[in-house]
Amino acid sequence: MHRKEQAVTERVVLAYSGGLDTSVAIGWIAEETGAEVVAVAVDVGQGGEDLDVIRKRALDCGAVEAEVADAKDEFAERHCLPAIKANALYMDRYPLVSALSRPAIVKHLVAAAHRHGATTVAHGCTGKGNDQVRFEAGIQALGPDLKCIAPVRDYAMTRDKAIAFADKAGLPIATSKKSPYSIDQNVFGRAVETGFLEDIWNAPIEDVYEYTANPALPREADEVVITFEAGVPVAIDGTPVTVLQAIQQLNERAGAQGVGRIDMVEDRLVGIKSREVYEAPGALAVITAHQELENVTVERELARYKRQVEQRWGELVYDGLWFSPLKRALDGFVNEANQHVSGDIRMTLHGGRAVVTGRRSEQSLYDFNLATYDTGDTFDQSKAQGFIDIFALSSKIAAKRDLA
């Protein structure tokens, strides 16, 4: 007598936030695919509920297993820190708040998929944003054997359908309150879009902000000294900190001064322009300090070339190519360029601005005796004329031809 073999049920790993959409997605995916769902929640500093509460909700909503990970330190050290070293600002303004968190989450999703024998990874992104690309490009890079699905995009899981599904199934999730905004946040900052902000003539109101106080309110200025070693923030006002603690403390102090508000129309990867409101007080304060310390410690030609690398690095991360060969190669350059970026930067935080007021470094390339115009100047000005003649020679020869 032959034993009947038991059919193996497919498994899907779902990037789980604990909110309405991903809670509904657990049952939705099961109905659409017949697969079991393993929920994975990754804490990158977004705040909100306790991880154990989120894990229990996932199980109550039908997940066969649920995992939670406190990845705040990992996110700060492996994702935010490289952005700080690269002075990464997409379109010269946006410190890549959401773009940095996606590859951090992806690593946990792919690892969970392999642990649980899943064949597919699911996420809650729409079909018109950047995050679908960031998730799926990352998943393909780390788990090329895995498939990807997005219930909102692939199965038309609209919000009204999600609410109806949750009510019918009696899911333990509030469905009545709907924020007028779409919000994504983590320890590096906060992104707000949709609602009345989609009319780009409308100014943001104070209700939009959470990480920053109104910069117009009168208050005393805050002076802070940030210490770096090889591009890494290691102390605030002389007290040692981890990268996570540096960002958190600057979020609090710079945020209290209204530093870090950004209102921009952004070029999305999918080809549309999108109005985004960001607040990233810690990110902008630490990047401002890091940029100034580089001005003191990085040689001119290296600094000029690094600015080109910074732009490309930021574009790659924004576009979801964190795990690409070019991004890895540029990381090597950025780390080498930060070798001597050590010292202290003093900043005044006030009125929505982080202003550098002092710099000191044992690795400094600033030579007072070369720079001064007073007695003690060691710069030999007699050599300047010959330098200018040779430097401008090719332009002079071309001018003789063109003006003839």
Whether 219 is catalytic: no
Residue of 131, 274, 319, 342 marked catalytic: 131
Whether 344 is catalytic: no
- Would you say 118 is a known binding-site residue? no
Residue with tokens 């991903």: 22
- Closest alpha carbon to 296 in 246, 261, 255, 344: 344
- Would you say 366 is a known binding-site residue? no
Half-sphere exposure of residue 207, counting CA atoms within 13 Å on the CB side?
Answer: 9
Whether 382 is catalytic: no
- Would you say 15 is a known binding-site residue? yes
Paired tokens of 296? 């003191």
- Would you say 318 is a known binding-site residue? no
Paired tokens of 340? 């001597």
Whether 21 is catalytic: yes
- Would you say 19 is a known binding-site residue? yes
355 Cβ contact list (under 8 Å, min separation 6): 347, 348
- The Cα–Cα gap between 301 and 286 comes to 23
- The Cα–Cα gap between 109 and 139 comes to 8
- Would you say 231 is a known binding-site residue? no
- Would you say 17 is a known binding-site residue? yes
- Would you say 18 is a known binding-site residue? yes
83 Cβ contact list (under 8 Å, min separation 6): 95, 96, 100, 188, 283, 287, 314, 317
Residue of 159, 182, 304, 328 marked catalytic: 182
Residue of 11, 55, 102, 253 marked catalytic: 102
- Would you say 194 is a known binding-site residue? no
CB of 32 within 8 A of CB of 155?
A: yes
- Would you say 305 is a known binding-site residue? no
- Would you say 254 is a known binding-site residue? no
Integer Rg of the chain from CA: 26
Task: Mark the binding-site residues for ATP, compressed into ranges.
Answer: 15-23, 124
Task: Mark the binding-site residues for L-citrulline, compressed into ranges.
Answer: 94, 130, 134, 182, 266, 278
Task: Mark the binding-site residues, compressed into ranges.
Answer: 15-23, 94, 124, 126, 130-131, 134, 182, 266, 278
Task: Mark the binding-site residues for L-aspartate, compressed into ranges.
Answer: 126, 130-131
Catalytic residues: 21, 102, 131, 182
